[in-house]
Structure 1
Amino acid sequence: MKRTLMTIALIGAATGAAAAEIAPGEVPFEDGAVTVSLTGAPGDPARGREVVGNKSLGNCVACHANSDMSDIPFHGEIGPMLDGAGERWSEAELRGIVANAKMMFPDSMMPSFYRVDGFTRPGNAYTGEAADDSFGPLLTAQQIEDVVAYLATLKY
């Protein structure tokens, strides 16, 4: 049994099998940055662009202007412009900012997209019942990686 587990581990390492997803409460922040991938898989910039502009997902353009998204109306002006984000911040800094901007910028108004604790939650929908523990993060770990991959493409 021990030999089988070791063989499986070696095969996984040799084939580049992805690491386990990092849970929201386990994200290792270093000065606000997150140097390790949340999924072990690369992000997809095209899917990240969709998350940034989609009102049902990240809706980043509600607060940030982005010249690359002229096809999407009503960009906000509360947060910094996303143009050049890939030059202003490293991939690790972008990951930290998207996951939980308050770790780098404590007074930020930006939502913590990969956080599930430390909130005062509203009641359970409109039922009048207290909130339960079923609230997940606003974005999945892969969506965070996709957004980071997209933001990294935004150069001046």
Structure 2
Amino acid sequence: MPMRTDLPSINAEHPRNTTLLDFLRAQGSPPHGPNDYALGEWQLHTHPDLLDRLAQLAPHVPLHAAYGVPVLAYEGIAVAAALGTSTLLVRLPTAPSKLEVGLPDPSLADDGWQEINAWQSELPSAEGDRRLSGVIRGALAHTRDLAS
């Protein structure tokens, strides 16, 4: 049975979400068949394990959805998103140190998004979890500052 998760949509009206939502909309598509994984009305663009990983890293932050991608939000502003099999996008002014990072799409980078590997395979599991949870907490704090 295909997974179908219904999560509240991210606030499309908030100007801080425009760049991320434009990026996600460009790759979003409805499910192609009854056996496709879906997130709301969109084909899931995140491996189910990564969706679970995002929820695990921020257990008290509700998940939202945007064009088939799980997103963490603070007061309607996107904080982090999970893409593909291993990519976390986080809203931070600079890339986190001592973690495996990537280069986000230039439009996302220009808007303050950083790309990090969700699994940090070069670190022991507990240490990777601790550092990644810290990155999510930092992104939440940064987003709170943007919201005020």
- What is the TM-score of this pair, normalised by structure 1? 0.25
Report 1 or 2 for greater relative contact order, CA contacts < 8 Å, sequence distance ≥ 6. 1
Q: Which has the higher strand share?
A: 2
Q: Which has the higher helix share?
A: 1
- What is the TM-score of this pair, normalised by structure 2? 0.26
